[in-house]
Amino acid sequence: PNAEAFLRALPKCEHHMHIEGSLEPGLLFQLAKNNGVTLDPARYTSIAALEERYKNFTSLDDFLLYFNLAMAVLITEDDFEALTFAYMTRVHADGLVHAEIFFDPQAHVGRGISLSVVVAGISKGLEKAEAQFGITSKLIMCFVRHLPVESALESVESIMEYVKTGKVSGLGCDSTEKGNPPEKYKEVYQRARDLGMKHLTMHSGEEGPAAWVRTTVEELGITRIDHGVRSADDPEVLKLLVDRNAFLTVCPLSNVRLRVHTDVSESPIPKFMAAGVKFSINSDDPAYFGGYVLDNYLAVHKAFSFSKETWRGLAIDSVNGSWCDDDRKKEIL
Ligand code: ADE
Ligand code: ZN
């Protein structure tokens, strides 16, 4: 309880949270009803049954099946606004001061929802949260690895109008890592750079090996790495991350639910600290993985019992790793 109050009060930033992954079972069923969407009755029986199923994911792909099915209930601008505002309200209570949020445009456009509806809804939720709670945010488009590179290129091109208006700030890459090494996406990131996109990140080294993190840094020139936990398997890769001043967005509860480790105590966080690799602690898909950002901090504390000084340092790192401007960082710190 003591640790909880302390960690809650620390000003924290989150950099790895998929807005679709914040769709709680309760809201999922409610939106299905409102929108007249029929969910697969074999999978969607009750809130309690769904929560149980979420405790038994066997892999990233097993989770992604549920993650992608649930999106069917997100139809209107109001749905995206409600989803986003619910997340921001929840993390405001966790002491979050700045959130960098992913969304998957291809997953929505591919089922007939227009990009303008998605971006407008999420943006409204973010603006409302900033007005009410003072939490700032950035929105990051991810392209998905389970669709062809051609589709990713189209998605990047179509997002540029929202980058120009400041509604979208960066580019990431998510979904199935196995079978999809980073070099496959060199062209996609190059196109984003050519079009003037400044903030780039990539899911790498979640299920894929440390060597793929090396490729992400050396060949794609990306130094923000989502997950990156498998880097800890190779001291040379850890050294590379330090040399390039890279930043990892680590998701401890996600890694347990998706069987990357069996327990948070197996997280390489202490190895990263010993090696001098900078990182933040994040929730990934809080509605699916058993907790929001503070729950992740608490799980790490339970595993490693860091001192207050250490925690203050980690929270400061989370601020410095953010894509907000220096004025905002100063204001937070
Ligand atoms: N999409 C949502 N969460 C993800 C994760 N942890 N890894 C890859 N793709 C994702
Ligand atoms: Zn993720």
Please write the tens of the pLDDT for every residue from 158-207.
999 999 999 999 999 999 999 999 999 999 999 999 999 999 999 999 99
The answer, as to whether pTM is greater than 0.80, is yes
- Choosing from 14, 22, 63, 230 the residue with most ligand 1 atoms within 8 A of its CB, the one to mutate for a pocket test is 63
The more confidently predicted of residues 11 and 1 is 11
Q: CB under 6 Å to ligand 1: residues?
A: 18, 21, 60, 67, 174-175, 203, 206, 254, 284-285
**pLDDT on residue 89:** 98
Cβ neighbour number for residue 42 with a 10 Å cutoff:
6
The CATH class of 2-22+80-332 is alpha beta
Which residues are known catalytic residues?
A: 206
The confidence score (pLDDT) of residue 10 equals 98
153 pLDDT tier (thresholds 50, 70, 90): very high
DSSP classification of residue 284:
B
Give residue 1's pLDDT: 63
Q: How far is residue 169's CA from residue 247's CA, in Å, rounded to a whole number?
A: 17
Domain ranges of the chain: 2-22+80-332
| Mean of pLDDT values over 1-16 | 95
- Output the DSSP codes for 113-174: --HHHHHHHHHHHHHHHHHHH--EEEEEEEEETTS-HHHHHHHHHHHHHHHHTTS--EEEEE
| Bridge partner list, 171 | 141, 200
- Report ipTM (2 d.p.): 0.97
For ligand 1, atom 8, the nearest C-alpha belongs to 175
Per-residue confidence band for 274, with pLDDT thresholds at 50, 70 and 90: very high
Average pLDDT, the chain: 97
Alpha carbon of 18 to ligand 2 centroid (Å):
6
How sure is the predictor about 100, in pLDDT bands with cuts at 50, 70 and 90? very high
Averaged pLDDT, 19-43 = 97
